[in-house]
């Protein structure tokens, strides 16, 4: 392939930025455009800090992109897959954007539609502005008021701990179908329970919220949990753009892709990050920065390999750790197997908080390094079967 390709990247999150930064260095002939509705990069792994009243640095997407990558601020509202064309709403009006290759990296959003009353009576950490507005509400909340966090995943755990540490005078409660500690090894579960006890976070496990009204979460067993503010962190879904375009999606709206992160029947479309339904190491990858950045880097390398006339290769990924912040002075780092199952080893306390902070900082550092042509980003690959031919330890290494 000798002609310049027009590559459009939908989404300026962790996956989209890594794709743009890496591809711009590897394929200077490509015309690359990144499309995002916001001019600001959202560090979603820090939104619980903003919710607790901490000031997060605002990072312009343009400053994180290579100079030769064009940035279009707008929201894709239509997609003509056969015609390889997007309809994008911008401040100047509707624009048609054509492409030769498209990277679908729109990320995910909190699902506030499944349970009645959530969109009206709860708040979600959808973006930095949402988190900052919620932070302003919580900072001014009088002592003794109830804050209910619904959802026992990492978002709910981190939000409950961060808020309870920042506002010990509030009554912070967490409601979830499963105990939050159930996802960790015994040592990690015990530490989480100790932290929640120290921070006086009341946990309601084994409950399912069926509806919200102005001051209470109604449970499937007939009980109600009163609140003054409710934070909804009970599940994430991908945007509906791919589904409306007639492309295959799963129950969470994620675009279905093959082992090379291409859409079956549409090799010109690749997907990365939360918006992609990807299986690796025997498990469906969770929506996370830890999976989005490897996928974004891989997609850039695949586009470079395609231009060089090389055959597609499968995405290879393995988990190593799971990091959880429990306020600014405590944390939990859980060692996990390649398929994300917890292993006995954990790190806790200030050491874990330090590791978590370094992981968070490394995301922006890696994007900036790739922008400058320093290909430093690596991730673990699954162990090779006994007797198999040697392979690179990291899929990003060439």
Q: pLDDT tens-digit profile of 5-21?
A: 999 999 999 999 999 99
| Strand 224-226 to 216-219 pairing | antiparallel
- For residue 375, the 8-state DSSP code is -
Asked if residue 62 is part of any domain, the answer here is: no
- The pLDDT value given to residue 397: 36
Q: Examine the fold and report which residue of 236, 258, 285 is the final residue of a domain before the chain moves on.
A: 236
- The pLDDT value given to residue 82: 97
pLDDT band per the 50, 70, 90 thresholds, residue 127: confident
pTM for the whole thing? 0.93
- The pLDDT value given to residue 353: 97
Q: Are residues 228 and 272 in the same domain?
A: no
Asked if residue 260 is part of any domain, the answer here is: yes
149-206 pLDDT per residue, tens: 999 999 999 999 999 999 999 999 999 999 999 999 999 999 999 999 999 999 999 9
Asked if residue 327 is part of any domain, the answer here is: no
- For residue 394, the 8-state DSSP code is B
Query: Which residues touch 164 (CB under 8 Å, ≥6 apart)?
Result: 170, 172, 196, 199, 200, 201, 327
Q: Are residues 226 and 137 in the same domain?
A: yes
Query: Higher model confidence: residue 29 or residue 313?
Result: 313
Asked if residue 370 is part of any domain, the answer here is: no
Distance (Å, whole) CA 66 – CA 117: 43
Q: Are residues 267 and 213 in the same domain?
A: no
> Which residue in the block uniquely carries the two structure tokens 């392939």?
1
Asked if residue 178 is part of any domain, the answer here is: yes
Per-residue three-class SS string for 64-89? HCCCCCEEEECEEEEEECCCCEEEEE
Asked if residue 381 is part of any domain, the answer here is: no
Q: Examine the fold and report which residue of 316, 334, 369 is the final residue of a domain before the chain moves on.
A: 316
> Which residue in the block uniquely carries the two structure tokens 């449970």?
219
Count of helix runs (H) and strand runs (E) in the chain: 10, 27
Distance (Å, whole) CA 65 – CA 29: 16
Q: Are residues 221 and 257 in the same domain?
A: no
CA distances from 275 to 43, 108, 125 (A): 17, 6, 17
Beta-carbon count within 10 A of 47 CB: 25
Q: Are residues 120 and 216 in the same domain?
A: yes
Distance (Å, whole) CA 310 – CA 96: 31
Radius of gyration of the chain, Cα coordinates, nearest whole angstrom: 21
Q: Are residues 78 and 221 in the same domain?
A: no
User: What 3-state DSSP class applies to 302?
Assistant: helix
Q: Are residues 172 and 80 in the same domain?
A: no
Q: Examine the fold and report which residue of 217, 236, 255 is the final residue of a domain before the chain moves on.
A: 236
Q: Are residues 297 and 225 in the same domain?
A: no
* b/e map 378-395, b = 16+ CB within 10 Å: ebbbbeeeeeeeeeeebb
Asked if residue 69 is part of any domain, the answer here is: no
The count of residues in the chain is 398
Asked if residue 18 is part of any domain, the answer here is: yes
User: What 3-state DSSP class applies to 8?
Assistant: strand
Contact between 74 and 87 (Cβ < 8 Å)? no
Distance (Å, whole) CA 361 – CA 355: 10
How many domains in the chain? 2
Q: What is the span of the domain harbouring residue 309?
A: 6-37+74-108+238-316
302-317 pLDDT per residue, tens: 999 999 999 999 999 9
Beta-carbon count within 10 A of 213 CB: 12
264 φ/ψ sector (left φ>0, alpha ψ -120 to 50, else beta): beta
End-to-end CA distance of the chain: 21
Q: Which of 185, 193, 180 minimizes the C-alpha distance to 342? A: 185
Distance (Å, whole) CA 166 – CA 143: 12
CATH number at residue 270: 3.50.50.60
- The pLDDT value given to residue 393: 36
> Which residue in the block uniquely carries the two structure tokens 């892709």?
257
Q: Are residues 117 and 194 in the same domain?
A: yes
Tokens of 195: 């932290």
Query: Which residues touch 139 (CB under 8 Å, ≥6 apart)?
Result: 53, 167
Q: Are residues 300 and 248 in the same domain?
A: yes
Q: Are residues 274 and 231 in the same domain?
A: no
Q: Are residues 277 and 132 in the same domain?
A: no
- The pLDDT value given to residue 197: 98
Contacts of 247-253 with CB under 8 Å at 24 or more apart are 247/81, 249/277, 250/277, 252/108, 252/277
């Amino acid at each position: 392939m000798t002609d310049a390709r027009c590559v459009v990247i939908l989404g300026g999150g962790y996956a989209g930025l890594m794709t743009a930064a890496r591809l711009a260095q590897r394929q200077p002939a490509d015309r690359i455009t990144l499309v995002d509705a916001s001019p600001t990069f959202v560090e979603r792994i820090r939104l619980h800090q903003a919710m607790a009243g901490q000031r997060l640095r605002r990072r312009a997407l343009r400053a994180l992109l290579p100079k030769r990558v064009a940035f279009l601020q707008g929201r894709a509202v239509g997609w003509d897959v056969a015609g390889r064309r997007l309809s994008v709403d911008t401040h100047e009006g509707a624009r048609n954007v054509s492409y030769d290759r498209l990277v679908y990296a729109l990320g995910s959003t909190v699902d506030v539609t499944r349970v009645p009353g959530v969109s009206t009576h709860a708040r979600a950490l959808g973006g930095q502005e949402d988190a900052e507005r919620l932070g302003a509400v919580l900072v001014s909340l009088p002592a003794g008021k109830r804050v209910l966090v619904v959802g026992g995943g990492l978002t709910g755990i981190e939000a409950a701990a961060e808020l309870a540490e920042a506002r010990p005078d509030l009554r912070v409660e967490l409601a979830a179908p499963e105990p939050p500690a159930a996802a960790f090894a015994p040592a990690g579960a015990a530490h989480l329970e100790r932290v929640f006890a120290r921070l006086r976070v009341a946990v309601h496990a084994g409950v399912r919220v069926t509806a919200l009204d102005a001051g209470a979460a109604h449970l499937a067993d007939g009980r109600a949990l009163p609140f003054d503010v409710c934070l909804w962190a009970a599940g994430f879904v991908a945007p509906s753009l791919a589904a409306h375009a007639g492309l295959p999606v799963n129950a969470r709206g994620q675009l279905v892709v093959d082992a090379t992160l291409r859409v079956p029947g549409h090799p010109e479309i690749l997907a990365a990050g939360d918006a992609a339904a990807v299986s690796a190491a025997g498990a469906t990858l969770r929506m996370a920065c830890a999976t989005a950045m490897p996928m974004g880097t891989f997609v850039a390398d695949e586009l470079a390999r395609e231009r060089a006339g090389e055959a597609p290769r499968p995405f290879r990924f393995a988990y190593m750790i799971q990091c959880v912040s429990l306020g600014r002075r405590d944390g939990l780092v859980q060692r996990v197997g390649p398929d994300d199952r917890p292993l006995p080893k954990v790190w806790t306390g200030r050491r874990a908080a330090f590791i978590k902070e370094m992981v968070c900082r490394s995301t922006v550092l890696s994007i900036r390094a790739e922008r400058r042509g320093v290909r430093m980003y690596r991730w673990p690959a699954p162990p090779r079967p006994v007797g198999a031919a040697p392979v690179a330890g990291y899929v990003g290494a060439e």
